[in-house]
Structure 1
Amino acid sequence: MPYDTYPAPTPLVRSLTTLPWNPSTYWGTGRIAPTIPNSRSMPEPKAMANRLTQLDSVKVPPTFASARNARYTRYTPDDWRASNMSNYMASDRVRGGSERVRYDAARLCREIDDKTNRTQTDVGKKLGDRIGDIQFWKTEINNETDRVISESEALSRAKGVLEKTLAETENPLHVAQECLYFREKRQGVDLVHDEVEKKLIEEVDIIKRCQEEMRRLVQDSNNQLSLNRAAQHELEKDSSDKFSALNLDSQCHGMRNTSRGLAYHDGVERVDNSTSVPETWAKFSNNNIQRSQSERAASTDKRNQIEQLLNKCHTVMINQWNNVKNALTDRIREYVDAKNKLQTNLSQVLQEISDMEKNIEMLKMTIQAKEAPLQLSQTRLNTRTRRPNVEGCRDPVQHRLVEEVGEIFESIDNLKAKLRESENGLQQLLRMKTSLEQDLSIKSNSLHIDREKCLSLHSQFPMSPRVSSF
């Protein structure tokens, strides 16, 4: 740092008495008899007795000035003694005044030296107090800076856990959506809006709501991190300013009258009204610390919200996952029961079809077996129609033969009606067999979808959001 090498102007003000000449010498006589004009060539004596008056009968004729001066002297001995006494008294008075001035000057110098020393001591004390205040606030600011940095790091870790959990929620969402897609491949009557489908749709809604809350909280965490960084920036800037001020005040505190680099700086003592005062200075740092504390409290609240949201979403999704799993298990049990019943009914229908086919064969054989008795009865009747004359009477045999033919026709009609009924029954059994087989196939497909695909996907929860210690 360059130092000012110009000679400093002396603070003492020169007076006329310190000049190398004495302008008051000429006027010394004027102080004794100020009425004597300096321009007169023939001065008169000072004593009235020695002066020439109008009573003198003899007028001195005009002569040379030297003759007149010799005849009439300028001063008398009294004047000379009075002048000496005046000089003595003036000398004593001047010396007394000079001594008083010297004593006053010495006293003033001592007082000013003492005052200057006291002032410097007081300034040094105040500089020491100021350095202590700066160190105190700097320590508080540094501690608060460390705390807000730690809080920001904790919030960043919590946000990282939240973002990781948000990404992992895509797994159960994908599983639920895949199960819904798989169950759309159900067929026929099994394509029903059952409890499993309701739980799956509810699970998708729950996961999407949790994802929306997580995204909102991630955005809020980013905003809070920005506010934390802003508060940290203000604290670091304040700490840097206080570090510079502490170095400068420490440098000032170490300065002495014999220190190097001292110089005059004109006008530096003038007050700048734009600078701060101790109250506003302390309030500025206090406001920065309070702002940082407020942001730290908000950041802690955000971390608590993240922890609560992770716990809530984990609990809700796990419960819904188990509900879907239980609903799938119940639905699979229903499918198995229905399939077993269908298989039992199908077996019974197949057995009934077999019995019905035998019955139809029996009816056909029975109808065929009635042809011979019918032919016999009709042949007998036809043979008896050839009886001659009165022999062709309607005797009991004739009546019985006619009844026999009627009974045989009626039996054949009844058998044929029963045959048609049996054949219709067989067709219904065959249609039922086809329907049962189709329904059994549908149930097998639905059972395969729910048990082999959906339940296998829901066997284990595909994410484990653990709330770590932030």
Structure 2
Amino acid sequence: MDADLDSTFTAHDFSGKRDEKDLITTEFTPAQWNLSNMNNYKRADVIRQKSEAVRNLTSQLISEHEDYAKKGVEQAKYRLAERMRDVNFWREELKQEIRALREDTEVLVTSRRNLDHALAQTERPLRIYNKCKEFREKRLGIEMVKDSVEMSLLHEQETINQHQTILKDNLEECTVQIDRNQEMLNRLNSDLNAKEQANSINKTTMNLNLLTKGPMPVPKSLKKNGVKGGKKKEGDPNVLEIPAKRTKEWAQASQESIKISQNMRLDTNKMADFAENLCNQAVTEIKSAWESTNLALNNRIKELEDIQKRVQEHLDNTLKEMKDQDQHIENLKASINAKKAPLSLAKARIAMRSKLPEGEACYDTPYIALLEEIGQLEESMETLNRALETAQKTHMELFEVKQNLEHDIYLKSTSIQIDKTKCLPLRSEFPFHLWCGCNKCKSCRTSLYCRTHTCRKVT
């Protein structure tokens, strides 16, 4: 259309050579005048059509871009809402996981406190073992025997030491696990705080609209110079940085944290259960060893009392025999003394007969009788003296036996006194308790002993 316009002739194009007299009357012909008008009309129509086309095209562009803006706002709002739902989902998952991990950690802390309490409680039977060992080392003589009580005490000590080692190792493992749980809680709380902050920012961003009054918020790094074209300079605070992390990576980070926390909770629950079982096993086995020692101690006391009773019976019989032997010795001495006078008489008679005249002295019957009497009396006295020596020697042996029996009774009485009046009363109650059991004060349940309270007896 512009080409048509440019191809039209103006009024000046029809002016040729004119006569001077013509220039005075007119300048253009009617045909030229009409052609000029037609050209003006035509050009006006063309320009109007062009303007209308431009106006229609601009109106269409305005409408389209207005739709684009509305769609962009709605799309951004929808995406923000969708993002908020994702953030809320992971926020709730994190809250739930934090709550579960905190509860399981508290259970493990309680189990660790029980382990610590149980470990401290093992010192109580160990102290009693040391006292019993100290008392029993005061036994005397042959009573220093490695009896069943001694073996049971050694087994009890080995059991206590073994469980002390196991409890210490498990206590350290619980402490390490609690520290790991605390680090995981810090990590989850940090992620949760980030989610809370992101949710707040997304909510504020979604609430922004075209009707919002006042200046729109601009990132601090863009308030001065704004975003311009060109490549981003590293470390330039005035250029908007596009996050490198994608949505999938963002979700995987929280999912991985939750998965790690779940595995840690599984380990925590296993460790808490193992700690409780370990405490129960410790108190069961130590109590079993304790009761075995008590049984051995009671049996030993009964055995000692029976032996002491039998030794006392032998002592009584020995004393009775010594009394009878004393009477027998007295009888022997009396019998020997009774034969001294007849022997002296017989010797006097034979001495008198030795003074007979030579003619009258002979080996007659009276002389023979006197000699026989003297021989019999001397032989009898010799036999009685030998019997007296034997009786006196036997009496000395009985006296030694009496002393030995009395000493043995003293030793056994000492052993019975040690086991029955010193060791056994210490072991009347098993001094190992998983719980304080005090209802009067709350601090007892967390303390190792009730030393500072009136409720010292635990059940």
- State the TM-score bracket (shorter-chain normalisation): 0.7 to 0.9
Residue 304 of structure 1: how far off its partner (Å): 0.2
Q: Is the contact between residue 171 and residue 462 of structure 1 (CA under 8 Å) also seen in structure 2?
A: yes
Equivalent residue for 1:267, pick from 227, 239, 246: 227
Counterpart check, 1:298 vs 2:251:
no
Residue 201 of structure 1: how far off its partner (Å): 1.1
Q: Is the contact between residue 88 and residue 199 of structure 2 (CA under 8 Å) also seen in structure 1?
A: yes
Map of 2:131 onto structure 1: 178
Q: Taking structure 2 as the reference length, what is the TM-score of the superposition? A: 0.83
Map of 1:248 onto structure 2: 201
Determine the C-alpha separation between the residues in 2 that align with 1:340 and 1:91.
150
Summarize the Cα distance change of 1:268–1:357 in structure 2 as closer, same or farther, 3 Å threshold. farther
CA RMSD of aligned residues (A): 3.0
| Deviation digits for residues 192-211 of structure 1 (CA, Å, limit 9, x no counterpart) | 00000110111111111112
**What's the secondary structure of 1:391's corresponding residue?**
coil
Q: Is the contact between residue 91 and residue 196 of structure 2 (CA under 8 Å) also seen in structure 1?
A: yes
Determine the C-alpha separation between the residues in 2 that align with 1:268 and 1:323.
88
Question: Can you give the 5+ residue segments of structure 1 that lack an aligned partner in the other structure?
Answer: 1-29, 35-44, 53-66
Between stretches 360-369 and 426-435, larger displacement belongs to 360-369
Residue 362 of structure 1: how far off its partner (Å): 1.5
Residue 431 of structure 1: how far off its partner (Å): 0.9
Determine the C-alpha separation between the residues in 1 that align with 2:427 and 2:241.
76
Residue 50 of structure 1: how far off its partner (Å): 4.5
Map of 1:203 onto structure 2: 156
Map of 1:358 onto structure 2: 327
Determine the C-alpha separation between the residues in 1 that align with 2:265 and 2:199.
27
Summarize the Cα distance change of 1:125–1:429 in structure 2 as closer, same or farther, 3 Å threshold. same
Counterpart check, 1:323 vs 2:283:
no
Determine the C-alpha separation between the residues in 2 that align with 1:284 and 1:164.
40
State the one-letter code of the partner of 1:267: V
Map of 2:108 onto structure 1: 155
**What's the secondary structure of 1:389's corresponding residue?**
coil
Equivalent runs, 1:278-427 vs 2, <5 Å? 278-427=247-396
State the one-letter code of the partner of 2:216: L
Map of 2:456 onto structure 1: none
Q: Is the contact between residue 114 and residue 279 of structure 2 (CA under 8 Å) also seen in structure 1?
A: no
Q: Taking structure 1 as the reference length, what is the TM-score of the superposition? A: 0.81
Residue 147 of structure 1: how far off its partner (Å): 1.3
Map of 1:108 onto structure 2: 61
Map of 1:456 onto structure 2: 425
Residue 77 of structure 1: how far off its partner (Å): 7.3
Q: Is the contact between residue 105 and residue 181 of structure 2 (CA under 8 Å) also seen in structure 1?
A: yes
Percent of residue pairs bearing the same amino acid type? 29
**What's the secondary structure of 2:355's corresponding residue?**
coil
Q: Is the contact between residue 131 and residue 249 of structure 1 (CA under 8 Å) also seen in structure 2?
A: yes
Determine the C-alpha separation between the residues in 2 that align with 1:240 and 1:337.
78
Tell which structure's C-alpha radius of gyration is larger: 1
Q: Is the contact between residue 346 and residue 370 of structure 2 (CA under 8 Å) also seen in structure 1?
A: yes
Q: What is the count of residue pairs matched by the alignment?
A: 416
Summarize the Cα distance change of 1:99–1:232 in structure 2 as closer, same or farther, 3 Å threshold. same
Counterpart check, 1:238 vs 2:191:
yes
Residue 339 of structure 1: how far off its partner (Å): 1.0
Equivalent runs, 1:61-210 vs 2, <5 Å? 85-210=38-163
Summarize the Cα distance change of 1:85–1:414 in structure 2 as closer, same or farther, 3 Å threshold. same
Determine the C-alpha separation between the residues in 2 that align with 1:390 and 1:352.
59
Residue 465 of structure 1: how far off its partner (Å): 2.1
**What's the secondary structure of 1:337's corresponding residue?**
helix
Equivalent residue for 1:227, pick from 180, 191, 209: 180
Q: Is the contact between residue 283 and residue 432 of structure 2 (CA under 8 Å) also seen in structure 1?
A: no
Determine the C-alpha separation between the residues in 2 that align with 1:280 and 1:75.
84
Q: Is the contact between residue 144 and residue 289 of structure 1 (CA under 8 Å) also seen in structure 2?
A: yes
Residue 108 of structure 1: how far off its partner (Å): 1.0
State the one-letter code of the partner of 1:465: L
Equivalent runs, 1:23-38 vs 2, <5 Å? none
Determine the C-alpha separation between the residues in 2 that align with 1:179 and 1:213.
25
Map of 2:450 onto structure 1: none
State the one-letter code of the partner of 1:445: T
Determine the C-alpha separation between the residues in 2 that align with 1:237 and 1:258.
35
Residue 423 of structure 1: how far off its partner (Å): 1.0
State the one-letter code of the partner of 1:294: N
Q: Is the contact between residue 46 and residue 74 of structure 1 (CA under 8 Å) also seen in structure 2?
A: no
| Deviation digits for residues 341-373 of structure 1 (CA, Å, limit 9, x no counterpart) | 111111111111111112112111211111111
Equivalent residue for 1:212, pick from 151, 165, 168: 165
Q: Is the contact between residue 139 and residue 411 of structure 2 (CA under 8 Å) also seen in structure 1?
A: yes
Q: Is the contact between residue 310 and residue 467 of structure 1 (CA under 8 Å) also seen in structure 2?
A: no
Determine the C-alpha separation between the residues in 1 that align with 2:329 and 2:153.
52
Q: Is the contact between residue 322 and residue 395 of structure 2 (CA under 8 Å) also seen in structure 1?
A: yes
State the one-letter code of the partner of 2:194: D
State the one-letter code of the partner of 2:128: V
Residue 86 of structure 1: how far off its partner (Å): 4.7
State the one-letter code of the partner of 1:327: A
Residue 467 of structure 1: how far off its partner (Å): 11
Residue 74 of structure 1: how far off its partner (Å): 10
Determine the C-alpha separation between the residues in 2 that align with 1:372 and 1:273.
145
Q: Is the contact between residue 227 and residue 240 of structure 2 (CA under 8 Å) also seen in structure 1?
A: no
Residue 78 of structure 1: how far off its partner (Å): 6.7
Determine the C-alpha separation between the residues in 1 that align with 2:8 and 2:35.
11
Determine the C-alpha separation between the residues in 2 that align with 1:355 and 1:445.
31
State the one-letter code of the partner of 2:184: A
**What's the secondary structure of 1:374's corresponding residue?**
helix
State the one-letter code of the partner of 1:208: N
Question: Can you give the 5+ residue segments of structure 2 that lack an aligned partner in the other structure?
Answer: 230-238, 438-444, 446-459
